[in-house]
Amino acid sequence: VVRVALDLMGGDHAPAAVVEGALLAVLSEPDVEVLLVGPTDVADRLIAGRDTTGRIRPVAASEVVGMDEEPARALRAKPDATVRVAARLVRDGEADAVVSTGSTGAALAAMVLTTGRLTARPALAVVIPAVAGPVVLLDAGATSESTAGHLLQHGLLGSAYAEAGGISEPRVGLLNVGAEPGKGDQLRKEAFAALSGAPLRFVGNVEGHDVALGGKADVVVTDGFTGNVVLKAIEGATARAGGGGLPVTGLLLGVGGVCVVGHGSARAEDVASCISVAARACREDLVGRIAEILGGRRAPVPS
Amino acid sequence: VVRVALDLMGGDHAPAAVVEGALLAVLSEPDVEVLLVGPTDVADRLIAGRDTTGRIRPVAASEVVGMDEEPARALRAKPDATVRVAARLVRDGEADAVVSTGSTGAALAAMVLTTGRLTARPALAVVIPAVAGPVVLLDAGATSESTAGHLLQHGLLGSAYAEAGGISEPRVGLLNVGAEPGKGDQLRKEAFAALSGAPLRFVGNVEGHDVALGGKADVVVTDGFTGNVVLKAIEGATARAGGGGLPVTGLLLGVGGVCVVGHGSARAEDVASCISVAARACREDLVGRIAEILGGRRAPVPS
């Protein structure tokens, strides 16, 4: 059984779309239980008379972090915030994963605060269904000010994630304004040097089109500002070209538990899809495998 | 008559695709003359026996700036570089515009060096055919390290460009990771404040999807790194979704002459399209109008 702590109040269409998503998920995932974390009267009202298969139950949380709040400060001020209670359930072994379609920053802060982290700088990873195969893009928005050291950590995390997903020796590329070495701003030049010396398969610079087309790299590393804007630009361009919706499910990598963050505009099917992604990460012990791969890669300490 | 100085050696498919583009352009634009700036033996060989309508002629330039060269340094070292000779023709009144599908940085440096600039920080502007109407995105790659002051200048330039193009009181948005004020990194927070106090119609933050979908802003301001990556991501996503090629013609704004920069992968039709864009900018006296609009917007100097 996989127990998913679902943020009842996250996203533009919460709580209704969240509950509908939970109902869809338990139908399609027979081993999943959903804990609806939020005001229990709201949860009770929305599931009243519905067939929950006995695998959906409310867990009380009385506060909500808004999209316009500074995440860390809001979380400290709201110990009973839905996303914080959800993370606490994972820490206490009462749930296996957190799913939220609310603030990414709040989910990140809640996970770090309660479950700890595997690396100094966790990242939000999204998988883009590129033409030549899936591309892991990170950071898609967990960090707003980045250093070359952060980009190096993103590379290690993304590589471990891709490897845990079955890609052996994943190719890691640095998102830049040109393919040639030496391109880009100071951050990219420093990150290029750091990634060149890292225990991963660095294939050099890749460009914006390589994210949606694939073929050059399995993992594309960038700062959280650029990653967020690029992801949304790809979503917009795909919609513009009539390509339908792109899955925009993000996985927080580098925290001490599974946490899936969906788009704020998520509808019921999107919430259900986030729950499926979270359940799969739990079944495959993604966090444990990433920790193992990262641990095995640590450079030996000189004696 | 509009005389376009065309960089014969710029782009992956030069010089053949460049000459074919010139041949297409003079057929479709009866008032356009093309000066093929490059080694005259190469130009002569490629136009030999072709119908140039008498409106294509070679102009000698013996050096080329490569895509992997540091632009300013390369230009200083190569006074006879194609793009520099082309810019000099504009300065000397022998041509009305420069078109190049070579290095953007080299074109920018050549224009600044020879024709001067209207603002401290010129920008590369591209027009995205968004769902709700055209969106001017800038900077798409002229500058690699940006300050809030640069972003403010991009806003003023982009607004003047959109106004010169017939949009009255263009809406200017700042590309950011969320719509709410206060979002983003330090650069965005400072740029938000600078744009809020500027003589333009600032509509606040916009997100990645707004670039391809439009509707929120007529002009989207960002730094040259993000703009370049976002533009290419939109191109890639459009191709991925089967939406065909996007026009990727960039106009250098803020320099003392018309300069159109095409994609390095440009084929003949793309080169012809760049020539058309340049010719139109000349007919409409775009540089003069932008200078006038910017001049009218200058805050009065306290006496």
B80-118 pLDDT per residue, tens = 999 999 999 999 999 999 999 999 999 999 999 999 999
Q: Which of A16-20, A178-182, A268-272 has the lowest mean pLDDT?
A: A178-182
**Chain A residues with beta carbon closer than 8 angstroms to that of B103:** none
Percentage helix, strand, coil, to 5, in chain B? Answer: 45, 20, 35
pTM of the model: 0.92
- pLDDT score, position B297: 64
CA distance A140 to B62: 45
Which two structure tokens, joined as six digits, stand for A198?
Answer: 């890292």
Model pLDDT for residues A118-155, shown as the tens digit of each residue: 988 999 999 999 989 999 999 999 988 999 999 999 99
Instruction: State the complex-level ipTM.
Output: 0.90
| Percentage, residues of chain A above pLDDT 90 | 84
Could B242 and A237 be called an inter-chain contact, meaning their C-beta atoms sit closer than 8 Å?
A: no
Residue A302 in this model has a pLDDT that exceeds 70: no
Partner B contacted by A73 (CB < 8 A): no
Partner residue facing B177 (CB), from A141, A208, A239: A141
Could B233 and A209 be called an inter-chain contact, meaning their C-beta atoms sit closer than 8 Å?
A: yes
Could A237 and B233 be called an inter-chain contact, meaning their C-beta atoms sit closer than 8 Å?
A: yes
Could A233 and B209 be called an inter-chain contact, meaning their C-beta atoms sit closer than 8 Å?
A: yes
CA distance B301 to B303: 6
In degrees, rounded to 5, the angle at the alpha carbon of residue A47 between the alpha carbons of residues A42 and A52 is: 145
Residue B63 DSSP code = B
Residue B249 in this model has a pLDDT that exceeds 90: no
**Chain A residues with beta carbon closer than 8 angstroms to that of B210:** 236
Could A230 and B231 be called an inter-chain contact, meaning their C-beta atoms sit closer than 8 Å?
A: no
| Percentage, residues of chain B above pLDDT 90 | 85
Which of B69, B177, B188, B223 is most worth mutating to test chain A (most A CB atoms within 10 A of its CB)?
B177
Could B230 and A225 be called an inter-chain contact, meaning their C-beta atoms sit closer than 8 Å?
A: no
CA distance B97 to B137: 21
Model pLDDT for residues A40-97, shown as the tens digit of each residue: 999 999 999 999 999 999 999 999 998 888 899 999 999 999 999 999 999 999 999 9
Could B145 and A175 be called an inter-chain contact, meaning their C-beta atoms sit closer than 8 Å?
A: no
Partner B contacted by A298 (CB < 8 A): no
Which position has the token pair 């959280």?
A224
Cβ contact B10:B260 at 8 Å: no
Kind plus residue range of the DSSP H or E element containing A150: helix A148-164
- pLDDT score, position B298: 52
Environment class of residue A293 by beta-carbon count within 10 Å: exposed (0-12), middle (13-18) or buried (19+)?
Answer: middle
CB neighbours of B202 closer than 8 A, spacing ≥ 6?
B155, B172, B173, B174, B195, B196
Residue A193 in this model has a pLDDT that exceeds 60: yes
The type of residue at A258 is V
Nearest C-alpha in B relative to A174: B229
CA distance A290 to A164: 7
Q: Sign of the C-alpha dihedral, residues B229, B233, B239, B244?
A: negative
- pLDDT score, position A60: 98
Residue A15 in this model has a pLDDT that exceeds 90: yes
